[in-house]
């Protein structure tokens, strides 16, 4: 059995309910581009909103981190990764959390206690030194020499700056080496690697400082890739069962072996193509573009292709599709949407590849010409030329330059870029940071508006089979994708606006009901991805015009939406239309 299955099974046996992975593209949170941690989708519940499945939850969660893409290529950093987590929402606390972690590691995964060490919180002005956790660890058989007390930099999650639920944690380390295990645990010794983090979430951090949460929660996180490698006794995640087939395929198609200078390129290809397969494959509607998630996807594909080229892989061959298929086959059991979207995912990745393949050779030649000419720095103008004419994302130019010990004037590049693209670099950068802010009032109003639009489309376009295919909400607007195969007429758009505004002015009541998933579907509630919902779901009804399974949050009366206006209607992908609308 795989680690994921063992983990879920273990915590189910401890009274937890399994919740499905949330999408990697947050549906109602525009403060982040991607879901970056297992607990992120649970933020409202950690803050006190009751969860329909109760107080003990367990899951595996898709995560994407793009803040350290440059690090990808080493043995441990990944763009996409999965996190296992178990949560107590005001139920159990330190004793059970630590005891079960210990039981799972030593009893289920059979890790000898001698290979384990832990850190606990040394205390600060909010929370005293965590002797309680240390005592629990000791009572389980972890020796005192293997327990280190550390401060906020190590044992406070996420840190003292970020907003959202937070608290002290205890982290579990494994001795990943064939050397003899040292008697005393030294957290600075890199042979000790962190495998699990148990956070005792007791505070919420916002503009006004730290305030105690409604209840004391436990949030734990274990990285699937790292722990799998450890269990399999390899010190390179790419040699574990998770990546081994992908590396073999790359070896086979390139005629090179996974060693020496080829390793980095092979890792980047495997990592990046896996990440884009998951991102594109989850109904998000994300496609390669020059903004937001689309830009990340573009960068990942282009960087992978450049490394394929470097390894001598024929990029006109079916290599990328073979790799994507193999990834989908591995993950479809856990994320069925990948299989459903297989054709679209293949087409999008192939399309981007073909686009880039046309200019890659010429661009590389151009780059080399510039690189031989300059001594130390590639100017912003040259970097922009590579971007504009050959489609080289700036990060790719930087990577190429660094390989030749050159730097790039990225400031200069962005100045040109901004002038040309009217893209606010600052805005984009802010969004790349992983924040944990919740859903604001404006987003909540838009969220309710999507339900009304969803209902109105069925009536105005006289088609009950129209459904939401995706949605994205910012404080400025809502975006709503639905299945329909032609452009809407002006009359239809006006009818949609009128109907939604009519419902708004009727001041309909928005109500929430918890029910069994199948009962909800039978009662006529609309469900976007039925396989993704837990067995018990929240159903939101708006008067008698809309009924949808949804996690919320929503306004309580439709009058709070004021006025609905469509600003754009366009094609999103084959058979899918996209409406952008505002509330004013
Ligand atoms: N939130 C913690 C982490 O991401 C534990 O899940 O490490």
Strands (E), 90-127: 116-121
Say whether pLDDT at 435 is over 60.
no
Spacing, Cα 219 to ligand 1 middle (Å): 7
Say whether pLDDT at 433 is over 70.
no
Domain boundaries, the chain: 3-231, 254-429, 441-583
**Between the CA of residue 152 and those of 147, 166, 334, 572, what are the distances in Å?**
16, 11, 35, 45
Residue nearest to atom 4 of ligand 1 (CA): 37
Lowest mean pLDDT among 163-172, 281-290, 390-399: 281-290
Identify the pLDDT of residue 421.
Answer: 64
Compute the radius of gyration of the chain from its Cα atoms.
25
Say whether pLDDT at 432 is over 50.
no
- Residue 525: which of 507, 509, 513, 508 has the closest Cα? 513
Pocket test for ligand 1, best of 82, 86, 87, 158 (most atoms within 8 A of CB): 158
Residue nearest to atom 2 of ligand 1 (CA): 221
List, in sequence order, every residue forming a beta bridge with 562; answer none if it has no partner.
none
Q: How confident is the model at residue 283 (pLDDT cuts 50, 70, 90)?
A: confident
Identify the pLDDT of residue 513.
Answer: 84
Spacing, Cα 550 to ligand 1 middle (Å): 25
Q: How confident is the model at residue 428 (pLDDT cuts 50, 70, 90)?
A: very low
Spacing, Cα 383 to ligand 1 middle (Å): 38
> How much of the chain, in percent, has pLDDT values that exceed 70?
95
Q: What is the pLDDT of residues 465-508, one digit of tens each?
A: 888 877 888 878 899 988 888 999 999 999 999 999 999 988 89
Q: How confident is the model at residue 404 (pLDDT cuts 50, 70, 90)?
A: very high
User: What element of type H or E holds 326?
Assistant: helix 319-331
Q: Which CATH class is domain 3-231?
A: alpha beta
Identify the pLDDT of residue 501.
Answer: 93
Angle CA(48)–CA(54)–CA(55) in degrees, nearest 5?
Answer: 65
Please state, in angstroms and rounded to a whole number, the distance separating the CA atoms of residues 518 and 522.
6
Residue nearest to atom 7 of ligand 1 (CA): 221
* pLDDT, average across residues 257-270: 98
* pLDDT, average across residues 363-390: 95
Identify the pLDDT of residue 427.
Answer: 46
In degrees rounded to 5, what are phi and psi of residue 582? -125, 160
Spacing, Cα 85 to ligand 1 middle (Å): 8
Identify the pLDDT of residue 574.
Answer: 66
Pocket test for ligand 1, best of 21, 63, 221 (most atoms within 8 A of CB): 221
pTM, two decimal places: 0.73
Provide the 10 A C-beta neighbour count for residue 448: 28
Say whether pLDDT at 161 is over 70.
yes
Query: Using a 6 Å CB cutoff, which residues line ligand 1?
Result: 37-39, 85, 157, 197, 199, 219-221
Q: What is the mean pLDDT of the chain?
A: 91
Strands (E), 373-438: 377-378, 407-408
Q: Is 105 strand, coil or helix?
A: helix
Spacing, Cα 204 to ligand 1 middle (Å): 15
Spacing, Cα 191 to ligand 1 middle (Å): 21
Say whether pLDDT at 454 is over 90.
yes
CATH architecture of 441-583: 2-Layer Sandwich (3.30)
| Residue/partner pairs of 240-245 with CB below 8 Å, 24 or more apart | 243/270, 245/326, 245/330
Q: How confident is the model at residue 533 (pLDDT cuts 50, 70, 90)?
A: low
- Residue 237: which of 250, 247, 248, 228 has the closest Cα? 228
Identify the pLDDT of residue 439.
Answer: 64
Q: End-to-end distance of the chain based on CA atoms, in angstroms?
A: 53
- Residue 440: which of 475, 466, 414, 464 has the closest Cα? 475
Torsion, CA 420, CA 422, CA 428, CA 429, rounded to 10: 60
């Amino acid at each position: 059995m795989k680690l994921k299955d063992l983990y879920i099974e273990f915590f189910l046996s401890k009274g937890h309910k399994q919740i499905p992975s949330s999408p990697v593209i947050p549906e109602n949170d525009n403060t982040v581009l991607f879901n970056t941690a297992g607990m992120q989708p649970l933020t409202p519940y950690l803050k006190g909103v009751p969860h329909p499945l109760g107080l003990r939850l367990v899951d595996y969660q898709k995560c994407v981190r793009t803040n350290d893409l440059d690090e990808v290529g080493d043995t441990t950093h990944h763009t996409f990764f999965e996190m296992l987590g178990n949560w107590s929402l005001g139920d159990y606390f330190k004793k059970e959390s630590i005891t079960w972690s210990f039981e799972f590691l030593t009893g289920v995964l059979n890790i000898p206690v001698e290979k384990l060490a832990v850190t606990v919180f040394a205390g600060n002005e909010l929370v005293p030194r965590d002797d309680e956790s240390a005592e629990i660890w000791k009572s389980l058989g972890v020796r005192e020499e293997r327990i280190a007390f550390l401060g906020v930099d190590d044992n406070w999650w996420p840190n003292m700056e970020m907003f959202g639920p937070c608290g002290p944690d205890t982290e579990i380390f494994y001795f990943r080496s064939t050397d003899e295990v040292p008697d005393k645990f030294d957290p600075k010794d890199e042979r000790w690697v962190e495998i699990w983090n148990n956070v005792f979430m007791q505070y919420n951090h916002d503009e006004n400082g730290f305030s105690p949460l409604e209840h004391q929660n436990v949030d734990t996180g274990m990285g699937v890739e790292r722990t799998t490698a450890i269990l399999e006794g390899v010190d390179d995640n790419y040699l574990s069962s998770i990546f081994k087939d992908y590396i073999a395929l790359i070896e086979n198609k390139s005629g090179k072996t996974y060693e020496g200078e080829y390793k980095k390129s092979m890792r980047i290809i495997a990592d990046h193509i896996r990440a884009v397969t998951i991102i594109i494959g989850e109904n998000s509607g994300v496609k390669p573009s020059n903004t937001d998630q689309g830009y990340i996807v573009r960068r990942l594909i282009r960087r992978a292709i450049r490394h394929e080229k470097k390894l001598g892989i024929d990029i006109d061959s079916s290599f990328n599709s073979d790799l994507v298929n193999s990834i989908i086959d591995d993950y479809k059991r856990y994320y069925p949407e990948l299989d459903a979207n297989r054709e679209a995912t293949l087409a999008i990745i192939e399309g981007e590849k073909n686009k880039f393949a046309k200019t890659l050779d010429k661009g590389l030649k151009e780059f080399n010409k510039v690189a031989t000419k300059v001594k130390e720095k590639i100017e912003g103008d040259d970097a922009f030329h590579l971007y504009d004419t050959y489609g080289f994302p700036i990060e790719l130019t930087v990577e190429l330059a660094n390989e030749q010990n050159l730097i790039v004037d990225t400031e200069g590049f962005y100045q040109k870029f901004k002038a040309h693209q009217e893209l606010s670099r600052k805005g984009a950068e802010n969004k790349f940071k992983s924040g944990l802010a919740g859903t604001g009032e404006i987003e909540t109003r838009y969220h309710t508006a999507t339900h009304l639009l969803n209902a109105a489309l069925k009536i105005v376009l006289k088609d009950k089979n129209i459904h939401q295919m995706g949605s994205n909400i910012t404080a400025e607007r809502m975006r709503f994708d639905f299945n329909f195969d032609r452009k809407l007429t002006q009359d239809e758009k006006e009818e949609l606006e009128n109907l939604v505004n009519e419902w708004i002015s009727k001041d309909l009541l928005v109500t929430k009901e918890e029910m069994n998933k199948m009962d909800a579907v039978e009662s006529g509630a609309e469900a976007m991805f039925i396989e993704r919902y837990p067995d018990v779901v929240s159903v939101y009804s708006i008067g008698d015009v809309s009924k949808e399974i949804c996690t919320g949050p929503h306004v309580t009366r439709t009058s709070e939406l004021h006025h609905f206006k469509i600003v754009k209607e366009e094609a999103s992908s084959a058979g899918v239309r996209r409406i952008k609308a505002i509330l004013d």
